[in-house]
Structure 1
Amino acid sequence: MAQEQRYGEFVVVRKEGHVAEFVLDRPKAMNAVSLDMARSVAAACTALGEDPDVRVTVLTSSNDRAFCVGADLKERNSFSDADMLRQRPVSRGCYAGVMELPMPAIAAVHGFALGGGFELALACDLIVGDATTVVGLPEVSVGVIPGGGGTQLLPRRVGAARAAELVFTARRVEADEALALGLVDQLAEDARTGALELAGRIAANSPVGLRAAKRAMRLGHGLDLRAGLEVEDAAWKTIAFSADRAEGVAAFNEKRRPEWPGE
């Protein structure tokens, strides 16, 4: 039976088994990220990061037209310069929370994921879309830049030149092109269903192994090969003598499903 926890007014986390569904729940505003919503996202990420039972997190939306349309520009329209500076740490904490989740994270992008909404998806390890998916970073069209990690995460995903074209033109990209460009990793009949199915397959694996593998890939990205291999070796040493490794080897030899201690 699923367990449900609300964080502030705009985020709900539902846990079933070892998968946590992280629901962006501001449907009337198409999940536009206000200050209150940013705080809710950060708080939920902190709680998930401290939960050893969660092996995979799936970001979804309660709105049937959008994953998230980005920053709440109506709210920001009333901000003074001082307000803009004060909100910046709150905004950064929201996106950093998703990026720093220690377990694999999957974004289920149904409908629009624009600006900061697409940056929330980019902060995840994998992105699942469907035929309704539309993504983009349109910030330069309103006089700002992608400030939730987009200028750094997008080039790492699709390469510098492709990212430059997408950011500089501010254009929207629909599902088939998004898949071809690598802006999403797979298209399902329904993004949420596909993402939860993928999460279930991932969650069958060792939680210790999953977290160590994610840490090695994240920390090693951008390093030269020699330095990256040292990061990998350090991660290997954290799990080589774990109870999960012992159980995994025993289960393989005994031809049974492993029962992961998670230690």
Structure 2
Amino acid sequence: DRGIYWCRLRPTGRPCFSRELLRDIASMHAAIPELFAASSPLPAPRWFVCGSAIPGIFNLGGDLGLFRDLIAAGDRDALVRYGHAAVEAIHRNHTALDLPMITVALVQGDALGGGFECALAHDLIVAERSAKFGLPEVLFNLFPGMGAYSFLSRRIGRAAAERLILSGKVHTAEEMQAMGLVDVLAEDGEGEAALLAHLDRSDRWHNAHQAMYRARRKVDPVTLQELREVVEVWAEAALRLSEQDLRRMARLCNAQDR
């Protein structure tokens, strides 16, 4: 009765944004507008909530194994295609598909790299206290190319965004709340309950909140064109990585498998 559309990320294999998961997300997004049609047998959702079906992990980001293969092959076009598919999904979340919904990331585990970028694209972030956030790409001499700079610079300013991106550090949910990036901090195991309580408290003003988030996107827009162009910068930088950089990437890839 709250009108929530639940999305729970459930990748097969490595808990990252594989090409298969990105295709599934695109299919899901394509189906949501049908719920707003007058002929829909179901009520239109008022909230879109993205969480994870994997305990302790929201998402670990890009498919590093795929990246290594494409870099080794010098396949810039495939890197760009992957990145464009990722930012198109992120941008659809960011704009709430241009529908009268409020989007929420429910982070109950690690949100690293593209997982953090995915969370940042939502109107609100609800995180459990033990959740971790970070952008590890600098550890293998790259930068997060699928939304981090765009979203962080608008939320916390360019200087703070660059410090966060270049630090490679992992941050707690409490630290993210202090930066203004996490909106609701929940105790472990209580993320969903805290989310529902927040929705209930704000339900009376849903129209005002939804309109405000839409206005925010008008005043300080993150366009799909911007995201796509940053992906191209990322792909070119990826092809310049050294063998030492790729070995560091491989170690992080192995950590994703665990």
Aligned match of 1:43: 27
Partner in structure 2 of residue 23 of structure 1: 8
Query: In 2, are the aligned partners of 1:128 and 1:195 still within 8 Å (CA)?
Result: yes
In structure 2, the residue matched to 1:214 is: 213
In the alignment, which of 35, 49, 56 is matched to residue 65 of structure 1?
A: 56
Larger relative CO (CA 8 A, sep 6+): 1 or 2? 2
Tell me the SS of whatever aligns to 2:142: coil
Cα distance, 1:214–1:178 mapped onto 2, change above 3 Å: closer
Distance 1:122 1:93 in 2: 14
Q: Once the 2 structures are TM-superposed, how far is the Cα of residue 172 of structure 1 from its aligned partner? A: 0.8
Question: Bigger radius of gyration, 1 or 2?
Answer: 1
Give the 5 Å matches for 1:65-104: 65-79=56-70, 80=73, 81=75, 82-101=77-96, 102=99, 103-104=101-102
Deviates more, 1:169-178 or 1:76-85: 76-85
2:117 to 119, 125, 134: 119
Q: Deviations over 1:33-82 (max 9, x none)?
A: 01111122222223324533110111110011111110111222222313
- State the SS of the aligned residue for 1:183: coil
What is the distance in 2 between the residues matched to 1:47 and 1:85? 25
Give 5+ residue unaligned stretches, structure 2: 37-43, 222-258
* Distance in 2 of aligned mates of 1:92 and 1:169: 23
Cα contact 2:11–2:18 (8 A) shared by 1: no
Q: TM-score, normalised by structure 1?
A: 0.71
When residues 70 and 137 of structure 1 are mapped into structure 2, their CA distance, relative to the original with a 3 A threshold, is same
Deviation at 1:165, TM superposition (A): 0.9
Q: Counterparts in 2 of 1:74-223, with a 5 A limit? A: 74-79=65-70, 80=73, 81=75, 82-101=77-96, 102=99, 103-189=101-187, 190-205=190-205, 211-221=210-220
Letter in 2 for 1:25: R
Shift of 1:220: 1.6
| AA aligned opposite 1:114 | L
Aligned-residue offset at 1:210: 5.1
Change beyond 3 A, Cα 1:27–1:85: closer
Is contact 2:138–2:165 with CA below 8 Å preserved after alignment? yes
TM-score where L is the length of structure 2: 0.72
SS at match of 1:194: helix
Deviation (angstroms), 1:111? 1.4
Structure 1: distance between partners of 2:166 and 2:203: 38
Q: Aligned residues, how many?
A: 205
Helix, strand or coil for the counterpart of 1:118? helix
Does structure 2 retain, via aligned residues, the 8 Å contact 1:42–1:97?
no
Cα distance change, pair 206–174 in 1 and its aligned pair in 2 (3 A):
closer
* Structure 1 counterpart of 2:194, one-letter code: G
Q: How far off is 1:195 after superposition?
A: 2.0
Name the amino acid aligned to 2:60. V
How far has the Cα of 1:185 moved from its partner?
1.4
Q: 1:60 to 1:196 in 2, by over 3 A?
A: farther
Q: Distance in 1 between matches of 2:177 and 2:146?
A: 22
Contact 1:127 1:185 in 2 (8 A): yes
Per residue, is there more helix in 1 or in 2? 2
